[in-house]
Structure 1
């Protein structure tokens, strides 16, 4: 748990202080070459489920063996550094709040278009209307931050790397190097890996925002169903943002003030919601660390 707290703080700092270096670090060129090699040499095993296993299992297994070998060596310091390095590597690849701020502050059409492409790269609608941008923000939060963190907590560095490699196969430009049958399997597996993360994120949004609104949106979007669809996450986010903006406008009215004008307040509020969810997760982790130290 302590490793996770330190690693998340380092990953966030890396994206803010040296964003260009962080982006270059997280390109996964080695995995791109590995997919190319498999396409040329794996033969009939490459299409289908076996192709996904061939692409993801070897690097994840090597990392798991390394983590096992480093466990308890030198008082756990090498394992701690490995966990920090892997989480920082799998985080992102871009800094989410920087991408959101770029969209909000963009005055030129070309800058705004590039920023929209960066924000929408992790999924969601490619439209630039407000609901689509809110969706893109939470889906990016899922795929850049929370899914990596969730599987790191459950399975350690190997879990974080496994999720990131599968996401690269399924939704990144690297999917062009993957046969259609293999891509379909990778996307289905990714959907099931993201489903529990989206559920915990929805609960987190309810806790840091308006619980009744989030709960109602979750039920209306059929979030209780066991299926690999995380569309309910966007519905909860849109409802939570709308409720918070209504409450903010009501507070201004009660005080006899006019709401402060700002660009894309829904997008700002969506990013604020994401930050509060991350802080909630880190607070829970900190409490678990403290409890572990006490016992």
Structure 2
């Protein structure tokens, strides 16, 4: 059933607008506000309420549905949870204004839209394009690959836990809660980001990725964003950042790299399903 759900998620992403209707964070954000207003609760206690309790509730629901109709009633729950657990927004749409400005060679407009739409700031054009490339790779990883990895490995509860942790990292205002969420998320990112880096080597420049990433694979301290950025750039042999069409082409190349890696993952999941 898990592989069927993964296929249905692709169909939903491609042919429907369900994702925008399903991904409503309002009730959870209200809970986050209440937990941060509770001065008595410790940061770990808040994190348990924000992440663990919804995951446990989902587990109980799946446990109740499992005996019914040979477990098939759980399929829509799996699908809804997985769609909800994907990243927020459309990465390509967010990059659109920057791509247009960079293609025209309009540096001022590129700086403006990068700060407005992507939250990126840089002192010079080459650094800005590097950061936008890293943004694309990181968003592709955390929006899709990390969620798919944990769903395929441990099911919808793990996928939901990852997204709730990501939301806590993004929206938590209290430093202690934010720090705890980052620590747990770093642990959850450690394995999937290395699998993705290995995938980049298989669908891109194997030797270049090996040279750049191999000595970092067991490094606990390197962030997931930094590792996926280094592996992605190495696998596509990107040239030095340039204004105009060449810079936009580098973003297209990285997107195609993510697409090839996704195809590889789905092929591996399909093979695993057949063998198991």
TM-score by length of 1: 0.79
**Equivalence for 1:250:** none
The alignment of Structure 1 onto Structure 2 pairs a total of residues equal to: 263
For residues 193 and 213 of structure 2, what CA distance do their matches in structure 1 show? 11
For residues 155 and 115 of structure 2, what CA distance do their matches in structure 1 show? 32
Q: 2:248 aligns with which of 258, 264, 278?
A: 264
Bigger mean CA deviation after superposition, 27-36 or 226-235? 226-235
Bigger mean CA deviation after superposition, 25-34 or 103-112? 103-112
**Equivalence for 2:157:** 158
**Equivalence for 1:168:** 167
1:115-194 matches, cutoff 5 A:
117-119=116-118, 126-127=121-122, 129-170=128-169, 172=170, 174-176=171-173, 179-194=174-189
For residues 75 and 139 of structure 1, what CA distance do their matches in structure 2 show? 38
**Equivalence for 1:223:** 217
SS at match of 2:221: coil
Q: 1:44 aligns with which of 40, 49, 56?
A: 40
CA contact (8 A) 1:26 1:92 kept: no
**Equivalence for 1:209:** 204
For residues 44 and 222 of structure 2, what CA distance do their matches in structure 1 show? 17
Q: 1:68 aligned to 2:63? A: yes
**Equivalence for 1:252:** none
**Equivalence for 1:282:** 266
The superposition leaves residues 163-195 of structure 1 with CA deviations (integer Å, 9 ceiling, x where unpaired) of 10110011x2x223xx21111111111111111
CA contact (8 A) 1:166 1:190 kept: yes
**Equivalence for 1:251:** none
For residues 275 and 103 of structure 1, what CA distance do their matches in structure 2 show? 21
**Pair 1:75–1:266, CA change in 2 (3 A):** same
**Pair 1:207–1:50, CA change in 2 (3 A):** same
Bigger mean CA deviation after superposition, 135-144 or 98-107? 98-107
Q: 1:273 aligned to 2:257? A: yes
CA contact (8 A) 1:2 1:289 kept: yes
